[in-house]
């Protein structure tokens, strides 16, 4: 059994002796790890494909690009890149969790920070875009 809150394996049956939360079996934790790995891989592949498709559409457009459009395209590319990095962190966390049964809290915190940063960059790109 393993505690999902404090990440410590224990021999107790119902509750963790350190923090008092419910315990999970190692098999359920490894299943969660494989699910996290699959989710991260899906995010990397799906968002990478959309990124390539959108970049191709923006590059092949016959409209003359001005400074605002170029800035918008740059910020959207940064947002897509950050989402792909978040997916890679999800794959790493899933892999580690699937093999050890423990989640790495620093990777999860980094994943959340990178994903929120991507949302912030995408929102700022769309709100600041004023085509001429």
In whole angstroms, what is the distance from residue 1 CA to residue 48 CA?
Answer: 37
Task: Establish if 115 belongs to a structural domain.
Answer: yes
Question: pLDDT tens digits for the chain (132 residues)?
Answer: 677 666 667 676 677 777 767 777 778 888 888 999 999 999 999 999 999 998 888 777 766 667 777 788 888 899 999 999 999 999 999 999 888 877 788 999 999 999 999 999 999 888 877 665
Task: Establish if 4 belongs to a structural domain.
Answer: no
CB atoms within 10 A of CB 77: 16
Task: Establish if 2 belongs to a structural domain.
Answer: no
Task: Establish if 62 belongs to a structural domain.
Answer: yes
In whole angstroms, what is the distance from residue 28 CA to residue 60 CA?
Answer: 48
In whole angstroms, what is the distance from residue 81 CA to residue 87 CA?
Answer: 10
Query: Structural domain of residue 44, as residue ranges?
Result: 27-128
3-state secondary structure of 23: strand
Using CA atoms of 105, 108, 114, 115 in order, give the dihedral in degrees to the nearest 10.
-150
Using CA atoms of 56, 59, 61, 65 in order, give the dihedral in degrees to the nearest 10.
150
Task: Establish if 21 belongs to a structural domain.
Answer: no
Task: Establish if 37 belongs to a structural domain.
Answer: yes
- Asked whether the whole model's pTM tops 0.75, one would answer yes
Q: Give the pLDDT score at 68.
A: 76
How many distinct structural domains can be found in the chain? 1
Q: Give the pLDDT score at 12.
A: 64
- Is residue 44 within 8 A of residue 35, CB to CB? The reply is no
Longest CA–CA span in the chain (Å) reads: 67
In whole angstroms, what is the distance from residue 121 CA to residue 58 CA?
Answer: 18
């Amino acid at each position: 059994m393993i505690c999902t809150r404090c990440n410590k394996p224990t021999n107790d049956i119902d509750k963790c002796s350190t923090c008092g939360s419910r315990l999970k079996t190692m098999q359920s934790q490894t299943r969660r790890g494989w699910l996290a790995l699959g989710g991260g891989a899906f995010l990397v592949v799906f968002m990478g494909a959309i990124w390539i498709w959108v970049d191709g559409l923006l590059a092949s457009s016959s409209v003359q690009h001005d400074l605002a459009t170029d800035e918008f395209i740059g910020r959207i590319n940064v947002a897509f890149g950050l989402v792909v990095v978040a997916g890679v962190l999800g794959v790493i966390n899933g892999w580690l969790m699937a093999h050890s049964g423990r989640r790495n809290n620093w990777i999860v915190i980094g994943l959340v920070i990178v994903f929120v940063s991507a949302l912030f960059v995408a929102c700022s790109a769309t709100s600041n875009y004023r085509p001429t």
